[in-house]
Amino acid sequence: MQVIQSDVVIIGGGGAGLRAAIAVAQEAPGLSVALVSKVVPMRSHTVAAEGGSAGVIHPDDSLDKHFDDTVSGGDWLCEQDVVEYFVGQCTREMIQLEQWGCPWSRRDDGSINVRFFGGMKSPRTWFAADKTGFHILHTLFQTSLQFPAIRRHDEFFCTDLLVEDGRLQGVLALCIATGEPVLFQCKAAVLATGGASRVFGQNTNAGIVTGEGMGMAYAQGVPLRDMEFVQWHPTALPGSGILMTEGCRGEGGILLNKDGHRYLQDYGLGPLDPWPRPRAMELGPRDRLSQAFWHEDQAGRTLQTPHGTAVHLDLRHLGEKKIMERLPMICELARTFAAVDPVTAPIPVRPAVHYTMGGVLCDVHGATPLPGLYAAGECSSVGIHGANRLGSNSLAELLVFGRAAGLSAARHARETHAASAALQAQAESRAAVHLDMLRREGGTRVARLRQRLHEIMEAGVGIVREGPRMARACEQLAELREQFRAGVALDDRGRAFNTEWLTAIELGHTLQVAEAMAHAALLRQESRGAHMRIDGFEARDDERFLCHSLIHSQGDAPPRVTHSPVTITRSQPRARVYGGAAQNQS
């Protein structure tokens, strides 16, 4: 087996992985970095982020406001010490990106322009029109090319983390073009593999967002945290799930039910006037908006479309000039994929899964409980999102914690000795398991297993949850995992660029991540943030559940869930209110 040695391996070439790689190359010179990604970095899902990234710079804004918005937005399930660090670093990272060439949208005088997003007291969102993630990703990728210490391994699919002597010492990957296993031997690794939204059928995410990074860490005994908190973005195109950015509402877009009524005023987000105003109506947080859709849908006040029910996102009153300047990609997407011109007609939208709030447990330095393993970005649970992530905090997270995790991994690499000799044998035996899949007869097709996964998750662990349905989903997921273990039917038995085989390996991880979500959800007998129950647990229960869920893998058996305390420094939990009620509170 080919062995590639480096000090730090970074798994994933999206925003967090690239930022981590640059941090090591720039701030820890002398160390070698292997950047291993299943796609060429600029294809990573960061590219699809639209609306923007948070950083306090507006004169009306403050770090305290960013802290408060984040903690209350997360329904007090955030690690407040981590949020404190985060808000203090965001603006630095936005400026760093500016100096690397990111084309942030500007005011006429050339200074940075910021826009409102949901749940914000002040405008805080740095944006590059409505292609913020695209520009951030390309800026990071292109910037990374000036550092010879970063060796890219594009289109290498990581399958396993390798642990010897209780610490991470290597990563097993398959070279996609040839199918040959490669051992990346290292002193430290940063997991930056993104979220797991493809666990669900209706989602805004790219096809690559399948959660295998979480699965790899979980399989090595690292707990996943707060996996029950899955974000439904309220405005995606029915069917395709393509995202219509929150920036639409940040710029003044409104949501209407089938009667043309701005229904959010009926769900604790009104009154309508004065409008626009922060943290009210369409500028409420995503969990509340998606839940309001569910109620409208139940009441029969949504529109019928060929791909399910929808409400209208109306931008027409913004006028063509503003729409084309601030939301050009939204226009193109709506025209191409929904046959609607937002200048002249409202866009039908409905909620779709968008983001995994939970992930691999790690601290403010990105360190996971497994020595040598660090995590950053959506695959991680560093603790800033709590039970509901605020829009604009995830791009900022990639940068702030990508850098932090990179630097921590570099420090660890400097203090660590060479790898143990047993590593290669472990890599060989894991590789044999994967290669064996190519030879097995019978089994179920990947597409059928995936379809079944989507059905189970949509029915059991959706926007609105009930005990018996979640319990059923847990059982069905156990059966599905059993079916997966019984064999996956592959048409393609070759090694070279066998995406069917890789998808099957990926699915093995995805199924475990789904199971972690369902079990954590079942045990949380309260409603908090994005986890909404309608079976007698409609209220938040701080007495029993002001705590994180930690999900521990039990191998082939269903997971074990424990709970751990939340770090509260200066914001005691209070009622989480938006709209008029929020103004009375503050």
Partner 1 sequence: MSQTRTIMIECLRYDPEQDQAPHYRTYEVPFTDEMSVLEGLQYIKDHLDGSLTFRWSCRMAICGSCGCMVNHQPILSCQSFLRDYYPARIRVEPLEHFPIVKDLVIDQSDFLGKLESVTPYLVPAQPLTPEDGPNLQTPRQIEDYLGYAQCINCLLCYAACPQYGLNNAFTGPAALALLARYNADSRDAGQKTRMEVVNAEEGVWGCTLVGLCSEVCPKHVDPARAINRNKINSTQDYFLRFLAPFGRGS
Query: Which residues form the catalytic set?
Result: 233, 249
Phi-psi region of 128 (alpha: psi -120 to 50; beta: other; left: phi over 0): beta
From candidates 171, 334, 446, 530, binder to partner 1 by CB under 8 A: 446
CB of 160 to partner 1, least distance (A): 23
Question: Over 43-68, what HEC string results?
Answer: HCHHHHCCCCEECCCCCCCCHHHHHH
Residue 581, helix vs strand vs coil: helix
Identified binder of partner 1 from the candidate list 62, 142, 444, 567, rule CB under 8 A: 142
DSSP 489: E
Nearest-angstrom CA–CA distance, 283 and 276: 8
**Is residue 528 a contact point for partner 1 (CB under 8 A)?**
no
Based on the shown chain and the rule CB under 8 A, indicate whether residue 327 belongs to the binding site for partner 1: no
**Residue 454 binds partner 1, judged by CB under 8 A:** no
Residue among 432, 408, 462, 485 nearest 168 (CA): 408
> For strand 224-225 and strand 547-554, is the pairing parallel, antiparallel, or unpaired?
antiparallel
Does residue 322 interact with partner 1 by CB under 8 A? Answer: no
Q: Does 106 bind partner 1 (CB under 8 A)?
A: yes
3-state secondary structure of 261: coil
For partner 1, the closer CB: 57 or 189: 57
Q: Does 447 bind partner 1 (CB under 8 A)?
A: yes
**Residue 275 vs 497, nearer CB to partner 1:** 497
Identify the DSSP state of 377.
G
The 254-293 site mask, x for binding partner 1 (CB under 8 A), equals ----------------------------------------
> Among residues 239, 276, 371, 487, which is the contact residue for partner 1, using CB under 8 A?
239
* Between 109 and 543, CB nearer to partner 1: 109
Sign of torsion over alpha carbons 298, 300, 302, 303: positive
Question: Is the Cα torsion angle 425, 426, 428, 433 positive or negative in sign?
Answer: positive
Smallest gap from residue 177 Cβ to partner 1 (A): 6
Q: How many residues of this chain interact with partner 1, rule: CB under 8 A? A: 63
Which x/- pattern, by CB under 8 A, does the window 197-236 give for partner 1?
A: ---------xxx----------------------------
Type of residue found at 96: Q
* Closest separation in Å from C-beta 431 to partner 1: 18
In whole angstroms, the minimum distance from the beta carbon of 400 to partner 1 comes to 12
User: Minimal CA–CA distance to 396: which of 157, 70, 29?
Assistant: 70
The C-alpha atoms of residue 78 and residue 357 are separated, in whole angstroms, by: 11
Name residue, tokens 């709506």.
334
Q: Which is nearer to partner 1, 245 or 527 (CB)?
A: 245
Please pick, from the candidates 151, 497, 558, 577, the single residue that binds partner 1 as defined by CB under 8 A. 497
Does 29 bind partner 1 (CB under 8 A)? Our answer is no
Between the alpha carbon of residue 169 and those of residues 78, 160, 299, 374, 427, the distances in Å are 31, 11, 55, 12, 11
Check binding of 146 to partner 1 (CB under 8 A): yes
The residues, ordered by sequence, that sit 6+ positions from 253 with a Cβ below 8 Å of its Cβ are: 282, 313, 314, 315, 318
In the complex, minimum distance from the CB of residue 507 to partner 1, in angstroms, rounded to a whole number: 13
Q: Footprint of partner 1 on this chain (CB under 8 A)?
A: 39-40, 42-45, 47-48, 92-96, 98-101, 103-106, 108-112, 131, 134-135, 138, 142-143, 145-146, 154, 177, 206-208, 239-240, 242-243, 306, 329, 332-333, 336-337, 445-447, 489-492, 494-500
